[in-house]
Structure 1
């Protein structure tokens, strides 16, 4: 049954209210880590939260331990499982440099890479991937003996499938050479994605969900996921879909737990 107009209006207001507290909580968190990290670039600030000794890292890692069943730990774990449950119920996407990425702890880049140049010399051939003028990437395979070019390709952004789909990739390179180039270029991925709920050796019971990652990787995933949600708001990528807006409620609770570590 459809909601009557007045009920729909109140429902709309309630959904919008998830956004306001989240924005305010993130603003406070942002002010703290800008000051505390003493870094100039926002990426360096986020990396500091995730990887350097600081009150948020110390506090959250302690709360994420399986043996920690305090009320505070249970509240954080419930907020995390609520966030992922809501993200599982939708397909919340953002566009990054022309590539669509889903916001989810099942697909999150916890360690962005700063790639400029990679090189391998193997069995008489040199394999290179390097940034060139304008930020494009040039991929080259050259014979060391006579400098003959077996493959050369320039692309505007990292797209390994385009390289492996080139006619010269299969026509000019042997099977072992193809494998070597794949190893080189796969390692150049600036945003390797991780599924924190599958494929790991460690087990974390987080609310109603089991994560397969250590606590520090889950902290990194939370920081990156919530930062992406914040950017989606600022860049106008959030649709007024109640299911999307509802994701900001557990995200707000998580940021407030971050702030609780520095008070």
Structure 2
């Protein structure tokens, strides 16, 4: 006689494990790029996953060329691919991975390191200033934020942080002590401009017509017309963002930073289905 426990266990086993399936879809991609692009003699060396992914995004190759072809296409395969991109976007926005401040998203992908060490902006009577002193050891605070009077450069507020982190900034007592919320917002905005992993946003807001309806903005790709989701029509940039985003999802999973709960499963379901389409191009 079957028990409720038996029934529940069999139901659980009937569910597809998209975490594992995503890993299986990554393995042939990993094997392909290691075989074709690993190079100890190059400058810089291409011997790590990170360095090879950067190389793939800087050069034409079968994997990224397939993405651009699907983005441009109008056939069934292209429409299916765009639908998966839309679903992945919605899942990532609904279920931030690994968390909201550090989430992986089409709104926050970083392709290259931001080299800015200082940034300032003047608004009204104040100057908002941020500096990264990378010559200091990591054991010391290296990020310095100030609100200064524009008229005499007098420092009114100063915040010192160990690393670039919105969470660390928001929890810092000196930042919390700033009375004016508008000043806190502007200092945070200044901090965002010097983010070492300054994000790229490929999502374009729809146009709103006089009658209140939405329509496709100029220079955009229709990802989901029903829900007014559009990406920039810079196909090369979007293809790089997709490669980077898939790689970021791989890293969170492989490095154990992800809690493999059911809520996050939809993200990896769509990432797996996208990856499954792309690796077919890699057959010898």
TM-score scaled by length of structure 2 = 0.65
Q: What are the Cα deviations for residues 14-60 of structure 1, in whole angstroms up to 9, with x where unaligned?
A: 43532222101112212222342642343332222333222222221
- Structure 1: gaps of 5 or more residues: none
Distance 1:205 1:7 in 2: 44
What's 2:203 paired with?
197
Q: Contact 2:221–2:231 (CA<8 Å) still a contact in 1?
A: yes
Out of 129, 135, 149, the residue aligned to residue 131 of structure 2 is 129
Out of 241, 266, 272, the residue aligned to residue 221 of structure 1 is 241
TM-score scaled by length of structure 1 = 0.69
Q: Which is bigger in relative contact order (C-alpha 8 A, separation at least 6)? A: 1
**1:63, distance to aligned residue in structure 2 (A):** 1.0
Instruction: Write the mapping of 1:114-153 to structure 2, written as runs, cut at 5 A.
Output: 114-115=114-115, 117-118=117-118, 129-131=131-133, 132-134=136-138, 136-138=142-144
Out of 247, 250, 256, the residue aligned to residue 270 of structure 2 is 250
Q: Contact 2:157–2:174 (CA<8 Å) still a contact in 1?
A: no
- Structure 2: gaps of 5 or more residues: 40-45, 206-216
What's 1:94 paired with?
98
What's 2:110 paired with?
110
Aligned residue pairs total 246
Q: Aligned Cα RMSD in Å?
A: 4.2
Distance 2:158 2:266 in 1: 47
**1:153, distance to aligned residue in structure 2 (A):** 5.0
**1:256, distance to aligned residue in structure 2 (A):** 1.9
User: CA 1:69 to 1:202, structure 2 compared with 1: closer, same or farther past 3 Å?
Assistant: same
What's 1:157 paired with?
163
